[in-house]
């Protein structure tokens, strides 16, 4: 991370705090189940059930800026960096066989509950995913809905207890996505 990036994030956090908005950054451990693959020769495919299961990390930044009743609205930007070692289309083995890289952005809503330390949220995101395989690379448009629960641990730190997602990779061949993750969130004061 260079000095300009650190400076920009510091200024953004300070401005958001002054404007009663909330900025947060998060890191998660994530896993996906990507289905809809066809193995033309079952003896040559490492995963014969038509699914790939990449896992890895997710990093992101959100900005909540508008309260309407018990709901706080905002925006979220995130990147996923996932790897899998079993292809559903062809036989191959070795580390980092498949790489899934995605950049997504969209709308976010956080809901107030009677329990102040529990913060459920829902998001609708869209963006691009690049899947690198041993013999080819594909780029897809990705749409995904997410829902999760953050638990307030300390004044500026939450534990992302669970996040579930359901979506689609749209391209020359479409694939369904289910995701799960957990992580840690650092944010400005509420």
Q: What tens digit of pLDDT does each residue of 87-140 get?
A: 666 655 544 478 899 999 999 999 999 998 999 999 999 999 998 877 778 899
Helix boundaries (H) for the chain? 3-18
Rounded Cα gap, residues 147 and 174, in angstroms: 23
% of the chain exceeding 70 in pLDDT: 78
Q: What is the pLDDT of residue 60?
A: 96
Lowest-confidence pick of 17-31, 57-71, 102-116: 17-31
Whether 146 is in a domain gets the answer yes
Q: Tell me the C-alpha to C-alpha distance, in Å, between residue 101 and each of 12, 43, 71, 75, 76.
A: 26, 28, 31, 20, 17
Whether 3 is in a domain gets the answer no
Rounded to two decimals, the pTM is 0.81
Whether 2 is in a domain gets the answer no
Whether 19 is in a domain gets the answer no
Whether 17 is in a domain gets the answer no
Query: How many Cα neighbours within 13 Å face the side chain of 93?
Result: 2
Q: What is the pLDDT of residue 140?
A: 93
Q: Tell me the C-alpha to C-alpha distance, in Å, between residue 152 and each of 22, 35, 119, 183.
A: 14, 34, 8, 12
**Total domains in the fold of the chain:** 1
Give the domain range for residue 70: 24-187
Which band of pLDDT confidence, cut at 50, 70 and 90, is reported for residue 14? very low
CB 166 within 8 A of CB 160: no
CATH code of 125's domain: 2.40.160.20
Q: Tell me the C-alpha to C-alpha distance, in Å, between residue 3 and each of 9, 10, 42, 50, 51.
A: 10, 11, 51, 45, 42
């Amino acid at each position: 991370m260079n000095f300009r990036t650190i400076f920009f994030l510091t200024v953004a956090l300070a401005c958001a705090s002054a404007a009663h908005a909330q900025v947060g950054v998060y890191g998660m451990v994530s896993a996906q189940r990507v289905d809809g693959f066809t193995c033309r020769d079952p003896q040559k495919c490492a995963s014969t059930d038509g699914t790939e299961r990449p896992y890895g990390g997710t990093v992101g930044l959100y900005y909540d800026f508008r309260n309407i009743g018990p709901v706080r609205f905002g925006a979220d930007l995130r990147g996923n960096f996932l790897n899998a070692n079993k292809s559903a289309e062809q036989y191959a083995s070795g580390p980092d066989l498949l790489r899934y890289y995605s950049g997504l952005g969209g709308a976010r809503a956080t809901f107030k509950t009677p329990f102040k330390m529990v913060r459920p949220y829902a998001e609708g995101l869209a963006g691009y995913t690049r899947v690198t395989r041993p013999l080819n690379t594909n780029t897809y448009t990705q749409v995904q809905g997410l829902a999760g629960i953050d638990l307030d641990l300390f004044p500026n730190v939450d534990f992302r207890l669970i996040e579930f997602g359901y979506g689609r990779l749209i391209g020359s061949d479409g694939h369904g996505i289910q995701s799960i993750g957990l992580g840690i969130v650092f944010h400005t004061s509420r």
